[in-house]
Structure 1
Amino acid sequence: MATNETLLGAGFSDPVFQSQGAFRALLAALSEPGQVRELAIAVEPPAGLARATALALLTLADYETPIWLPASLRDGPAGAWLRFHCGAALVEYPARAAFAVIDGAALEPKLAAFNPGDDQFPDRSTTVIVQCAALAGGEAVTLEGPGIAGTCEIAPSGLRPGFWGEVAANAELYPCGVDLILSHGAELIGLPRSTQILETR
């Protein structure tokens, strides 16, 4: 009979080379907010995780970085996949997570539920990966801040009402606050805490 491990999808086939490539793409996304980046690396993400989400966690998470997932993912294939490939602990409370995955359309948890860091250690905040229905076709949002030449506009779809208000409130906490990665399929957009929301339409 097959074991749970043999039922898990594959992670990196070349961990050093592929994790370096994914890390560069993630760094570029967070240093140039609003720009869509593709993680063109073959993995077999579990049900409930977009490929970009899975690759980001494979690259950034390990046994020292607890992850928060919705219960439906934590107790299913996604949780097992992350435990096996990352060795990460899955935590029940959002504020205890170094990384988190949320459904952009879900009403809870709010961004304020995650750890914003503190004045002494702002880098200990949670990085929240927001899984979207698409990275285009939604409400248009104008951004400005470090890494953006003037302003830029994004329009991810499948986000809950009031989401951009939460992002604006998070930016007011700078240098504290959570960092965001919006993901869909193999693509992502970085929104670090320093990014400001100018307007939505």
Structure 2
Amino acid sequence: MTGGTVSLATVALAPGFADPVFDAQRAFRSVMAAMARPGRIEPLASELAPPAPMTPALAALALTLADQDTPLWLDAALMASPEVAEFLRFHAGAPIIADPAAAAFALVSDPRAMPLLDAFAQGSDAYPDRSATLLVQVERFSGASLMLAGPGIAGTATFAASPLPDDFVERLKANRAAFPRGVDLVLCTANEIAALPRSVRLVEAA
């Protein structure tokens, strides 16, 4: 764990899942459905009220996927809030680290400022599962459309989210070119998610 610790006595800790087993299972099913159908928007209703700037969906993803063995990297906006780090440490037991390349999961609340995808763990040809998964918070699933193809997509599918980095298309293409290495992305709004696994590829509109 990097950086100073924050005493629970000085931070009003937001509650976690009301029913940790049931709520985590429900969120995990949504994640699996999103990964199986890249680009398709899945509901992820959550009663969590996490500290800002986290949305309920981002908090639900983190509490579902992270544990004491999965180091988390937080972007600058999340790290600026001591309540966020304490919420994640307490409810997920996950260590917060400063090196994105060593993180199992990366939480991004400001996608326009997120590092390049190859700054995170890429895995290897022999162990592609040792790569990072990025949990990226967006405002909405709309904007400039991308056309996707690949496993889990019948033909092609369109996908849009905003805000995203101006060079997001180039980042996705570079990520796909590294397959089977590369990162997986799960994007979320307040109550919906969609996945862009490393297997997805971009195609030109006909």
User: 2:49 is matched with which residue?
Assistant: 44
Equivalences for residues 1-201 of structure 1 within 5 A: 3-4=9-10, 7-76=12-81, 77-102=83-108, 103-106=110-113, 108-136=114-142, 138-199=143-204
Aligned mates of 2:188, 2:56 — CA distance in 1: 8
- Contact (CA 8 Å) 1:105, 1:132: kept in 2 or not? no
Cα deviation 1:63-108 (Å, max 9, x = unaligned): 10000002331252211110111110111011010000122111x4
Aligned mates of 1:4, 1:100 — CA distance in 2: 26
- Contact (CA 8 Å) 2:46, 2:57: kept in 1 or not? no
Deviating above 4 A after TM superposition, structure 1's stretches of 4 or more consecutive aligned residues are none
- Contact (CA 8 Å) 1:74, 1:90: kept in 2 or not? no
Q: Percent identity?
A: 44
Aligned mates of 2:21, 2:139 — CA distance in 1: 31
Cα deviation 1:47-76 (Å, max 9, x = unaligned): 011211111110010010000002331252
Runs of 5+ consecutive residues of structure 2 not aligned to the other structure: 1-7
Aligned mates of 1:183, 1:41 — CA distance in 2: 12
SS of the residue 1:41 aligns to: coil
**Displacement, 1:170?**
0.2
**Which amino acid letter does the alignment assign opposite residue 176 of structure 1?**
R
Task: Return the TM-score normalized by structure 2.
Answer: 0.90
Task: Return the TM-score normalized by structure 1.
Answer: 0.93
How many residue pairs get aligned? The number is 196
Aligned mates of 2:74, 2:40 — CA distance in 1: 25
SS of the residue 1:101 aligns to: strand
Aligned mates of 1:110, 1:79 — CA distance in 2: 23
SS of the residue 1:45 aligns to: coil
